Structure 1
Amino acid sequence: MASGDSSSSMDMDPDVALRRFEEGATLVLLGVPQGTELGIDCKSWQVGPRFRGVKMIPPGMHFLHYSSVNAPSCGSEIGPKKGLFLSLKPREILLANWDPQEEDLDFSASKDEEQVSRTRATLQELDPHLGPYPYEVIRKWVSLTDRLSEELTKKLQPLSGRICAFSDVVPEVEFKHTKDRAEQPRNDTACQSMKEGLDRLPRMKPREGTELRFSEIPQKTYPPGATPAEITRCSLDLSYALETVLEKNYELQPLHLLGELQFAFVCFILGNVYEGFEHWKRLLNLLCRSEDSMRKRKDLYLGLIAVLYHQLGEIPPDFFVDIVSHSNFLTSTLQDFFQFAVGPGVDGTLRKRAEKFKAHVTKKFRWDFDADSDDCAPVVVELPEGVTVD
C-alpha cells in the first residue's frame, strides 16, 4: 500500500485472488496526498505516489480512516484522524476525490452513475495502483463488529457521516454585534486564578451534525419519587437505569446495545475518539453493575462476555495502567460483574461462561478479582426520618 501496488496479493492463490477481485468491493480514492496515513478496519498504511485506492474488499461493514499530511515544506505533520463507516455490497465501486481545502475525502462522485460506469470499465487498468484489502485482519475485524449493523451505525454516527478525533466546535453564543461582544469579560487584564481564566473563555459546543449520537445514560439511576431505600438499592444495582436505556433505545432489539458498545470501542481504538472511550466505560459500568437485569437477560450477558473477550484481546496488558487503573475502573467494574454472575437466580450457562471469562482476564492482565473490596465499597448514607431526596 505504501507504494500503491498490489504486490502483497502475489502470494495469494490465483483463483482466490481472481474471485476476491471479481466479488469484492473497490474504493477508488483519487488525489490522496503522498504520506497520508490511511487504513481500513484494523490495518493502516502510509500512502505512496502510485496509490489510487483499495480493492478486493469483502462485502459488509468497514471503517475507513485517514490522517492528512502537510506538504514537506511544512514539516510533513500528520493531522487529526477522520473516519467513516461504509456498508459495501459485492462488486460495488465507491469513488472519492481528495479535497485539499477540507483535507478530506469527497464521495460525491459516487452518485454520478456515468462516472462510476467509466471507472468500472477501466478497473483492470487501475488494478496495479489498488492495494488489496488486508485479509489477515478480517477475522479480527468481524469479531469486533459482529453486533454492528448498517442501521445501527447510521443511528449512532454524526449526521455529517464523519467521525473525527477532534470535535469541530463553535461558540454556544454567537456575538454578531459589537455591543454583545463589549459586554463579555475583557481579556486585557491579568487573571487572578485559573477559574477566572477559564470563565473568560467562550463556551463551546460541537458544530451541529458533527456530534456522535450515543444513547443517553440517565444521571439519576433511580425512578422519580424513589424512597431513600430505593435510591440506595438502585445505586448498588443499576438495573433500573439499564432497563431505562433499553426501553428508550432498543426496546425491540436489546442486543443492539452490544452493537453500540462495539461502535464506541471502534471509534476510540481506530478513530482516536476519546469520547468513544468514555461512552464505552459508561455502558460497561451500566451493564456490569445491573444484577437484576443479569438474572433476566441471559442472552444480553452471554453476548457481553463475547464482545468483551474480543475487545480486551485487542488491548495490550499495560494499556489500562496509564488510562484506567489510576481509578481502578475496569478491575472494580468486572469484579462486580463476576460477583453478580455467581449470585442466586443467574442462568447456569451464563455462570459458567462468566467463570471462564474471569479466568481468562485474570491470566491476561494478572488482576485479582477475589481480593477484598470492602475498602472501595460504596458508602450508604442513612437519611434522617422524614428527609427525602429529589
Structure 2
Amino acid sequence: MASSSCADLDPDVALRLFEEGATLVLLGVPRGTELGIDCKSWQVGPRFRGVKMIPPGLHFLHFSSVNLPSCGSEIGPKTGLFLSLKPREILVANWDPKTEDLDFSDSKNEEEVSRIRASLQELDPYLGPYPYEVMRKWVSFTDHLSEEVANNLQPLSGRICAFSDVIPEVEFRHTKDRAEQPRNDTACQSMKEGLDRLPRMKQREGTELRFSDIPKKTYPPGATPAEITQWSLDLSYALETLLEKNHKLQPLNLLGELQFAFVCFLIGNVYEGFEHWKRLLALLCRSEGAMRKHKELYLGLITVLYHQLGEIPPDFFVDIVSQDNFLTSTLQDFFQFISGPGVDGALRKRAEKFKAHLTKKFCWDFDADLDDCAPVVVELPEGVTVD
C-alpha cells in the first residue's frame, strides 16, 4: 500500500482523527493485493499492516487477490463488506490464503484486541492513514445509508462478491444419477441442446444480496381494467407496497437502499447492484402520485442522483445505459410528472434546477418528443455495404 500523506489535512482534523479515529489491523495481506476503503484503493506493499485514522461511521472495505507471476499479474474478483466503525475502535483481521479472504474472528477476542491496542505505537509506521480526500465524496454516496440498512441488505455471509458463488441445483452423488444425465461426448445439434446439457446452477445460500422485492404487479387485487391502466402508467401503488413492506417506519431508507446498490456496482463491481439501482430508479421516477405525497423522499432522491451521476464519466452512459436509452427516458418521465399539479413548489423548483444541470453536463434533451428517439437512417459512404 502506498503511503498516504496527512500533510494536506487541517492540523485540528488530523489530531481529532488520530485520537478518535478507528483502526483496521489487517495482518498477512499478500503483497500486490488490491485493497481499498470507500472510494480509494491501493496495491498492498510489503510493510502494510492496516489503515488508521478512519472517521467513525459506515465504510466499505474491498479487496482483490493478485497473483504475481514473473511476467504480468492476474487480479481476482473483488470482495467487499460494509463495516460500521466506532470512535477509537480496533478491528483485527488475518488474511486466509485458502479462501483469499479476511478473517475477522480475532476482533471478538478481547485479549488479542487489547494486545494490539497496547502495541499500536509500534504498529503505527505500518498503518496507512485513511484517504481523507475522499471522505466528502463517500459521505455524499452514503448519507442515507445506515448501519441497519446495510446489514439488512448485505448477504448473510457478510461478503459482497463481484462474481456470484454458484452451485448445481441438483447434486448427483451417485454414479447412476450422473449416468442418466445428457452425454457431452457428442456434438450438439443446436444452441438449445448445448444449454440443456449444462448443469442448472443456483446461488449458494447465504451469498445473495437481500434487496427489496419490487412488486411484479403494479396494481391492487381486484383492480378494474381502468385501474390496471392507471397503476401501470403511475407506479405509485407498487412504490407504496414496497415502502410498506420494507421501509414502513423510515421511507427515506429506500434512498439508502438505492445508495447501497450504487456502491455495490460502482465500487464493488457487482452488476446485480446496477440492475437493482435501475429498477428502483424507474419505480421512483414513474410514481406520479407518490411525488405529491412524499416530498422529502423526492427532495432526497434529487440530491442522491446529483452526487451519483456526478461521479460517473459521460461515456459510461454511451457504453451501457443508453443502449436502451434507460436513464434519459426514465428521467424524462420524472421531470414530466414532477412538474404536474399538486407537487410541492420547492420540490418542483429543485427538479427544474437538476434538469438544467443534467442538460448542461450531459447535453441531454428532456423536452424532446419520445418519437425523436426512433432509429436514425444513416447514409453510408459510397462503396460501403452492409451484409
Aligned counterpart for 2:102 among listed residues 96, 105, 119: 105
Which residue matches 2:380?
none
Instruction: Please report how far the alpha carbon of residue 226 of structure 1 lies from its aligned counterpart in structure 2 after TM superposition.
Output: 2.4
Distance 1:14 1:344, change over 3 A: closer
Which residue matches 1:295?
292
Aligned counterpart for 2:187 among listed residues 187, 190, 194: 190
TM-score by length of 2: 0.94
Does residue 1:344 correspond to 2:344, yes or no?
no
Range that drifts further, 197-206 or 146-155: 197-206
Alpha-carbon distance between aligned partners in 1 of 2:371 and 2:330, rounded to the nearest angstrom? 14
Instruction: Please report how far the alpha carbon of residue 14 of structure 1 lies from its aligned counterpart in structure 2 after TM superposition.
Output: 5.0
Instruction: Please report how far the alpha carbon of residue 326 of structure 1 lies from its aligned counterpart in structure 2 after TM superposition.
Output: 1.2
Which residue matches 2:56?
59
The number of equivalent residue pairs is: 374
Which residue matches 2:353?
356
Alpha-carbon distance between aligned partners in 1 of 2:182 and 2:237, rounded to the nearest angstrom? 44
Q: Deviations over 1:269-317 (max 9, x none)?
A: 0000000000000000000000011111111111111111111111111
Which residue matches 1:140?
137
Letter in 1 for 2:99: E
Range that drifts further, 83-92 or 168-177: 168-177
Does residue 1:129 correspond to 2:140, yes or no?
no
Range that drifts further, 353-362 or 185-194: 185-194
Contact 2:33 / 2:65 at 8 angstroms: preserved in 1?
A: yes
Which residue matches 1:282?
279
Letter in 1 for 2:238: A
Which residue matches 1:47?
44
TM-score by length of 1: 0.93
Range that drifts further, 141-150 or 17-26: 17-26
- Report % sequence identity: 86
CA-atom RMSD in angstroms: 1.5
Aligned counterpart for 1:218 among listed residues 215, 220, 240: 215
Aligned counterpart for 1:33 among listed residues 19, 30, 35: 30
Aligned counterpart for 1:201 among listed residues 194, 198, 203: 198
Instruction: Please report how far the alpha carbon of residue 318 of structure 1 lies from its aligned counterpart in structure 2 after TM superposition.
Output: 1.4
Which residue matches 1:150?
147
Instruction: Please report how far the alpha carbon of residue 74 of structure 1 lies from its aligned counterpart in structure 2 after TM superposition.
Output: 8.1
Letter in 2 for 1:263: F
Instruction: Please report how far the alpha carbon of residue 21 of structure 1 lies from its aligned counterpart in structure 2 after TM superposition.
Output: 1.3
Instruction: Please report how far the alpha carbon of residue 376 of structure 1 lies from its aligned counterpart in structure 2 after TM superposition.
Output: 6.8
SS of residue paired to 1:318: helix
Which residue matches 1:94?
91
Instruction: Please report how far the alpha carbon of residue 232 of structure 1 lies from its aligned counterpart in structure 2 after TM superposition.
Output: 1.7
Task: For structure 2, list consecutive stretches of 5 or more residues without a partner in the other structure.
Answer: 375-387
Alpha-carbon distance between aligned partners in 2 of 1:177 and 1:167, rounded to the nearest angstrom? 27
Contact 2:32 / 2:68 at 8 angstroms: preserved in 1?
A: no
Task: For structure 1, list consecutive stretches of 5 or more residues without a partner in the other structure.
Answer: 378-390
SS of residue paired to 1:223: coil
Alpha-carbon distance between aligned partners in 1 of 2:115 and 2:84, rounded to the nearest angstrom? 22
Instruction: Please report how far the alpha carbon of residue 375 of structure 1 lies from its aligned counterpart in structure 2 after TM superposition.
Output: 6.2
Alpha-carbon distance between aligned partners in 2 of 1:182 and 1:226, rounded to the nearest angstrom? 51
Distance 1:104 1:142, change over 3 A: same
Instruction: Please report how far the alpha carbon of residue 73 of structure 1 lies from its aligned counterpart in structure 2 after TM superposition.
Output: 4.6
Alpha-carbon distance between aligned partners in 1 of 2:369 and 2:16, rounded to the nearest angstrom? 57
Aligned counterpart for 2:307 among listed residues 291, 305, 310: 310
Alpha-carbon distance between aligned partners in 2 of 1:10 and 1:317, rounded to the nearest angstrom? 33
Which residue matches 1:77?
74
SS of residue paired to 1:181: helix
Which residue matches 2:330?
333
Range that drifts further, 66-75 or 314-323: 66-75
